Amino acid sequence: MTNDSSVIDLANAYKKYKWILISFVVSTLLMIAKFMAYYMTYSSAILTDALESIINVVASAFAFYAIYLASQPKDLNHPYGHGKIEFFSAGLEGVLIVLASVFIMFHASESLIHPTPFNDLQIGLFIISAGTIINYFLGYFIENEGIERKSPTLIADGKHLKLDAISGLILVAAVILVYLTKIVWIDGFASIIFALFMAWNGVKIIRKSIGGLMDETNEEVLEKVVDILKSNQKNDWIDMHNLRIQEYGADIHIDAHLTLPSYWNLEKVHEVVHEFEDIIGNGFNSDVEIFIHADPCLPECCHYCKIENCPIRQMPKTVDIDWNKVNLSLNQKHFLESV
User: Among 297, 303, 2, 237, which Cα is nearest to 228's?
Assistant: 237
Question: In the 8-state DSSP scheme, what is residue 258?
Answer: E
Cα dihedral sign for 189, 192, 194, 196?
negative
- 6 pLDDT band, cuts 50/70/90, is low
Report the alpha-carbon distance of residue 46 to residue 43 in Å, rounded: 5
Taking phi over 0 as left and psi of -120 to 50 as alpha, with beta for the rest, 242 belongs to left
Contact 84, 212 (CB under 8 A): yes
Beta bridge partner(s), residue 296: 260
Q: What is residue 2's predicted lDDT score, i.e. its pLDDT?
A: 41
The whole-angstrom separation of Cα 263 and Cα 297 is: 9
pLDDT tens profile 185-238: 777 787 788 788 888 888 988 988 888 888 788 888 899 999 999 999 999 999
Length of the chain equals 339
- The ranges assigned to domains in the chain are 2-213, 219-336
Give the model's pLDDT for residue 283. 84
Place 3 in a pLDDT band, splitting at 50, 70 and 90.
very low
Burial of 27 (0-12, 13-18, 19+ CB in 10 A): buried
Residues 6+ apart with CB under 8 A from 141: 19, 158
**What is the pLDDT averaged over residues 137-159?**
83
Read off the pLDDT band of 338 (50, 70, 90).
very low
The mean-pLDDT minimum among 85-89, 201-205, 246-250, 325-329 falls in 246-250
The edge-to-edge listing of strands for the beta sheet with 288-296 is: 239-248, 251-260, 288-296
> Strand runs (DSSP E) across the chain, as ranges?
239-248, 251-260, 288-296
Q: Is the pLDDT of residue 151 over 80?
A: no
Distance CA 6, CA 219 (A): 28
Q: How far is CA 15 from CA 10, 18, 41, 64, in A?
A: 9, 5, 39, 11
Do 2-213 and 219-336 fold alike per CATH?
A: no
> DSSP code of 215?
T
What is the Rg, in whole angstroms, of the alpha carbon atoms belonging to the chain?
27
Quick one: pLDDT band at residue 92, thresholds 50, 70, 90?
confident
Superfamily of structural domain 219-336: Cation efflux protein, cytoplasmic domain (3.30.70.1350)
The lowest-confidence range among 120-124, 175-179, 189-193 is 120-124
- The torsion region of residue 151 among left (phi > 0), alpha (psi -120 to 50) and beta comes to beta
| Per-residue model confidence as pLDDT tens digits over 267-302 | 999 999 999 999 998 888 767 889 999 999 999 899
Integer CA distances (angstroms), 316 to 27, 156, 239, 301, 334, in order = 67, 53, 16, 10, 16
312-329 pLDDT, tens digit each = 998 888 888 888 888 888
Q: Does domain 2-213 have CATH number 1.20.1510.10?
A: yes
pLDDT at 243: 93
Q: Which parts of 252-339 fold into alpha helices (H)?
A: 266-281, 325-329
Strands 239-248 and 251-260, by their bridges, are: antiparallel
In this predicted structure, the answer to whether residue 9 has a pLDDT above a threshold of 60 is no
| pLDDT at residue 202, rounded to an integer | 86
